[in-house]
Structure 1
Amino acid sequence: MAHGQHGGKSGPLGAGRRRGRGRWYAVAPALAATVVAACVPAAYAAAPPAPAAAAAPAQGAGDGLDRYHRQRLAWGSCVKGPDDTAGRDLDRAGVSCADVTVPLDYADPRGRTITVAVSRLKATDTRRRIGAVLLNNGGPGGTAVESPPHIRKAMKQVGTRYDIVGFDPRFVGRSTPLDCGWPVGTAWLSAGSGRAGFDRQVALQKDLADKCRAAGASVLAHISTRNTARDMDVIRGALGERKISYLGYSYGTYLGTVYTQMFPGRYDRVVLDGAVAPGDYKARLMQGAEPENERALSDWAAWAAGRHDAHGLGRTRAEVLATVEGIVAASARGTLTVGAAPEVFRLDDTQVPLILFMGIADDTDKARTALAEQVSALAKAAQGRPAPLSPDFAQLLRYALTGEQAATGGVQAAIICGDVGAPRDPEVYWRDIERSRAAHPLFGPLTNNINPCAFWDRPREELTRVRRDAAVLIVAATGDPRTTYRSSAGLHELLPSSKLITVENANRHGLYGEYGNGCVDGEVNAYLATGKLPKEDRTCSTASPSSSSSFSSSD
């Protein structure tokens, strides 16, 4: 699940928009996580969490991992080749990069190894240095090597007191790669309007799973959130840190929660932005979040209605939504053609809902304008008129509909499917789609659709359960259509020592350092500066100015 406007790929999480940090948010359903259930399954709440452990066990003691924890990292330039503009930007920002060696299989630490790419922007206020903070931007499959300069800016004065460390999880980005050779950038599509479209999806999803199995036969069993958490602990050890702080967005909140459960006593300050409760993490990540997505679309429609003269989509909310319905209906009758030679795209009713879904996880004027431009182009195509594309829309379509970002889509599926099992029988999905279609005709066939996990090998490990309390800071928006507020509140209940910062009436996925909300940024930075959680949960208004702050440079 990914968020904000920086890049990363947040699976349907934040999906498909470039973010300020230069990463893509995957389009999967957003764990970005995402998955939202109305309540926490009994399995996760059966026993009260144990108290958080106070002391960190010895690094790698007795588990054969000592050599990994004690490795010396060769910090140097982030540039990987002559065309690596991102690497040059990092070098100019004072960031250093290295590769951390980790075992492919933690059950066989003397066996095959892989590398995890890390970057570091060192603390400049060394006298008052707090430690290192590790970053994850979501996805699954999002990168974070490029993120330290952006986070340093968001952290304001306290940023100078941390080593800010980004990493690309195993098989993501600059780490040891996996490319499944997919013809598309994402597997997360709608079932369409009828059985024929669903049957095509079954064939496609099986083919995508088969391609990943062929390309990654020797590694797929070792791609999982629990192994990424183990890699994080190796990074901690290689950095020479007894404890490490953590900032995770979207899916990264699930990863952070897993780390607290697997490595109690080895973390310091933990911020989880757009949090997902572990019980909501499943193969169909967005199943159950249809109401939040419909509300976000409706709110965008009201915004667009007020700008009819600019976008021509309708003068009322109802008229704009009718335009959207007309586009979807036209894509069911025949493909919509957008763009012009040499770059032309054709979209059907399995793809159009995804484009709409990807555009509603950000309620800033900039993001809403981009979606209005996209819908305007689709409306022209639905009428058989020429539909030119903006550069950003063309980039989004290349990501979603071509193999340009196939590596990201394949790794995202590998992580999700490596974590959780899925129903095998296509008829289970078809029944769910048909049940949801009446109430949720646009998003139900998307959130309930079959995906590669139906054809994946079963996970090697069980999902992580929350059995330990953790004093973490959770940040959530009430209208988040990716990791829903219900899910963030569910995680808060599972962790009694946590505190929850709520932004009211925001259809936004990803808040800290991205949304310009001074209340959120101030609360997070005060916690990072002092290590003290707020005394009570806090509610922030969407009108909070970005300049406000609840801590001073002397903290």
Structure 2
Amino acid sequence: MIGPRSGRRVVLATVAGLGTLALATTACAGGKVAPAGSATGMDRLQWTHCEEAASSAGFECAKMPVPLDYDKPDGEKLDIALIRMKAADPANRIGSLVFNFGGPGGSGVSTLLNAAQAFSTLGRRYDLVSFDPRGVDRSSGIRCLDGRQMDRYLANEPGDTVAEETRLITDFAKGCESKAGKILPYVGTVNAARDLDLLRQALGESHLNYFGFSYGTHLGSVYATLFPKMVGRMVLDAAVDPTVSMLDMAKTQALGFQKAYEDYLADCVKTRTSCPLGADATAANDSVLKLLRSVERKPLKAGDREVTEDVARTAIIQALYSKLTWPLLTEALRDAMKKGDARGLLTLADQYGGRRPDGSYATLQFSLPAVLCVDSTDRPSVAQAGELARRMAKRSPIFAPTIISAGSCSTWPVRGDDAAKHVDASGSGPIVVVGVTNDPATPYQWAPRLAQQLRTAVLLTLDGEGHGAYGQSKCIDSAVNAYLLDGKVPTDGLRCPK
């Protein structure tokens, strides 16, 4: 299951640099942002030094208790892990800007630790704040398989047949139920949005200023639906359409990654000397398909691990999230083809899977299906997903096999609910929705659909590649920064060039 995916890809996009060209029109942002010193309550959190690596210098961490079950607000609690970097210019501080970098299942704590510099323009006047949502890493993170089990699972997922895929996802779901059954019913986006409002209150903010990427756009949309009057300045980049079905999501993403892959090949073969895959796009594609067929028959060794066809496909998917990682993909494919060295492919696949150097995994791959399945009553069968994968094989030979994973919720141990599918922010101030025309993970058509569903949104478009627009374009960055810093709402329909 590809999913909207995590902030790791967003970080790759944002390090491209931040723009300063002002292209926004002046308008009131609804008066939703309280000036410095006028927050509605005191900071109720106990911030301490983050017990992380040396990279945590300048950051503070805290924990915020929230109800496990909001129908029992005085019952069992779980702690939400928080992180912040205080505004660099406290005299001109606006307030807190809360981030969700995606997933579902991405760690906001880890991502902000690595990505804060990419938001330094905003960090001058905002406290940059992020969190691990419920069921993610430090916030009662869901775990289903141990490291070795997960290695084997990812080396064979998606399965080649309906029977194999059914066995894989059934065993996976049983592991989740066994190790995290208590929390599984409560990790949905509606509950995460309620946590977000408790965070707003705990930060002492009268309104929520929020920057969401990928799945974070869904979380922000649900928050704006539940608490429209509490929305401050909200930006939703790499938008998710919450109404799409599991099968439609899988099909659309397979086609999105196919387009990104074709653009990657075209870029690689611009000059004969720069692309080791082939002299033209057809030859390069043939080389990649030959490699995948080869490792399907006989996996390549990488230390004490194997690179299967599924691992190699995952490596390709990982690299296609951002144009900045295309050269890494070329190098990894070249080494595998020419030298039989699969370490580069394995490194990319491990980044996608959230595998740590010690062989353990972050909770992303466990949290992602947990949230997707509880957020929807949609339960396509593995057979239905497999039939769609078969029909799509000619259009997207590399990525169509992933479609069978859209049947994953059919064996999930928790019932779903459709509340998070319905978004309508009527009554909120302007919300900025951003889409990239060649975004493989959250295809562009989802952005205008989300903007329309919210009713209070303006749409920005980046004509370009990659998952997420902020950090890729001076035009986009200037419009977003002017809105978040000065309340200047961008012109609806603004398009920015590559």
TM-score w.r.t. length of structure 2: 0.85
Q: Say if 1:362 and 1:507, in contact at 8 Å, map to a contact too.
A: yes
Q: Matched residue of 2:150: which SS?
A: coil
Aligned residue number for residue 508 of structure 1 = 466
Aligned residue number for residue 468 of structure 1 = 425
Q: Output one character per residue of 1:232-266: Cα deviation in whole Å (capped at 9) or x when no partner.
A: 11111111111110001001011110100011111
Aligned residue number for residue 436 of structure 2 = 477
Aligned residue number for residue 337 of structure 1 = 300
Aligned residue number for residue 539 of structure 1 = 495
Aligned residue number for residue 73 of structure 1 = 45
Aligned residue number for residue 356 of structure 1 = 316
Shift in Å, 1:530: 1.7
Q: Matched residue of 1:255: which SS?
A: helix
Aligned residue number for residue 24 of structure 2 = none
Q: Say if 1:296 and 1:507, in contact at 8 Å, map to a contact too.
A: yes
Is 2:215 aligned against 1:251? yes
Is 2:334 aligned against 1:386? no
Q: Provide the C-alpha distance between the structure 1 equivalents of 2:244 and 2:380, rounded to a whole number of angstroms.
A: 19
Q: Output one character per residue of 1:23-57: Cα deviation in whole Å (capped at 9) or x when no partner.
A: 9xxxxxxxxxxxxxxxxxxxxxxxxxxxx99999x
Q: Output one character per residue of 1:373-400: Cα deviation in whole Å (capped at 9) or x when no partner.
A: 22223434xxxx532524x843634764
Q: Say if 1:128 and 1:161, in contact at 8 Å, map to a contact too.
A: yes
Q: Provide the C-alpha distance between the structure 2 equivalents of 1:229 and 1:395, rounded to a whole number of angstroms.
A: 32
Look up the equivalent residue of 2:211 and give its one-letter code. Answer: L
Q: Provide the C-alpha distance between the structure 1 equivalents of 2:221 and 2:154, rounded to a whole number of angstroms.
A: 26
Q: Provide the C-alpha distance between the structure 1 equivalents of 2:489 and 2:348, rounded to a whole number of angstroms.
A: 40
Instruction: List aligned pairs for 1:273-292, cutoff 5 A.
Output: 273-280=237-244, 282=246, 285-292=249-256
Look up the equivalent residue of 1:276 and give its one-letter code. Answer: V
Q: Say if 2:48 and 2:61, in contact at 8 Å, map to a contact too.
A: yes
Q: CA RMSD in A?
A: 3.2
Shift in Å, 1:302: 1.4
Shift in Å, 1:336: 2.3
Instruction: List aligned pairs for 1:310-329, cutoff 5 A.
Output: 310-329=274-293
Aligned residue number for residue 369 of structure 1 = 327
Aligned residue number for residue 5 of structure 1 = none
Q: Matched residue of 2:78: which SS?
A: strand
Q: Provide the C-alpha distance between the structure 2 equivalents of 1:399 and 1:530, rounded to a whole number of angstroms.
A: 36
Q: Say if 1:76 and 1:96, in contact at 8 Å, map to a contact too.
A: yes
Q: Say if 1:181 and 1:406, in contact at 8 Å, map to a contact too.
A: no
Shift in Å, 1:156: 4.7
Aligned residue number for residue 63 of structure 1 = none
Aligned residue number for residue 413 of structure 1 = 369
Shift in Å, 1:435: 2.1
Q: Provide the C-alpha distance between the structure 2 equivalents of 1:527 and 1:150, rounded to a whole number of angstroms.
A: 24
1:121 pairs, out of 61, 65, 85, with 85
- Per the alignment, do residues 12 and 234 of structure 1 end up closer, same or farther by CA in structure 2, a change over 3 Å counting? closer
2:265 pairs, out of 298, 301, 304, with 301
Shift in Å, 1:401: 9.8
Q: Say if 2:82 and 2:109, in contact at 8 Å, map to a contact too.
A: yes
1:347 pairs, out of 308, 328, 331, with 308
Q: Say if 1:229 and 1:258, in contact at 8 Å, map to a contact too.
A: yes
Q: Provide the C-alpha distance between the structure 1 equivalents of 2:224 and 2:449, rounded to a whole number of angstroms.
A: 16
Q: Output one character per residue of 1:115-159: Cα deviation in whole Å (capped at 9) or x when no partner.
A: 001112222433432221110000111112245576664445553
Q: Provide the C-alpha distance between the structure 1 equivalents of 2:249 and 2:400, rounded to a whole number of angstroms.
A: 13
Q: Matched residue of 2:419: which SS?
A: coil
Q: Provide the C-alpha distance between the structure 1 equivalents of 2:112 and 2:30, rounded to a whole number of angstroms.
A: 29
Instruction: List aligned pairs for 1:444-463, cutoff 5 A.
Output: 444-456=400-412, 457-460=414-417, 462-463=419-420
- Per the alignment, do residues 250 and 437 of structure 1 end up closer, same or farther by CA in structure 2, a change over 3 Å counting? same
Shift in Å, 1:330: 2.3
Q: Provide the C-alpha distance between the structure 2 equivalents of 1:371 and 1:218, rounded to a whole number of angstroms.
A: 40
Q: Matched residue of 2:232: which SS?
A: strand
Which blocks of at least 5 consecutive residues in structure 2 are unaligned?
16-28, 34-40
Q: Say if 2:6 and 2:106, in contact at 8 Å, map to a contact too.
A: no
Is 2:389 aligned against 1:429? no
Q: Say if 2:107 and 2:131, in contact at 8 Å, map to a contact too.
A: yes
Q: Provide the C-alpha distance between the structure 2 equivalents of 1:149 and 1:240, rounded to a whole number of angstroms.
A: 23
Aligned residue number for residue 547 of structure 1 = none
Q: Provide the C-alpha distance between the structure 2 equivalents of 1:284 and 1:215, rounded to a whole number of angstroms.
A: 30
Please, which moves more after superposition, 413-422 or 149-158?
Answer: 149-158
Aligned residue number for residue 202 of structure 2 = 238
Q: Say if 1:283 and 1:422, in contact at 8 Å, map to a contact too.
A: no
Q: Matched residue of 1:463: which SS?
A: helix
Shift in Å, 1:352: 3.2
Q: Say if 1:14 and 1:509, in contact at 8 Å, map to a contact too.
A: no
* Percent identity between the two aligned chains: 28
Aligned residue number for residue 20 of structure 2 = none
- Per the alignment, do residues 356 and 146 of structure 1 end up closer, same or farther by CA in structure 2, a change over 3 Å counting? closer
- Per the alignment, do residues 278 and 120 of structure 1 end up closer, same or farther by CA in structure 2, a change over 3 Å counting? same
Q: Say if 2:377 and 2:416, in contact at 8 Å, map to a contact too.
A: yes
Shift in Å, 1:346: 3.1
Q: Say if 2:425 and 2:456, in contact at 8 Å, map to a contact too.
A: no
Shift in Å, 1:207: 0.4
Q: Say if 2:32 and 2:233, in contact at 8 Å, map to a contact too.
A: no
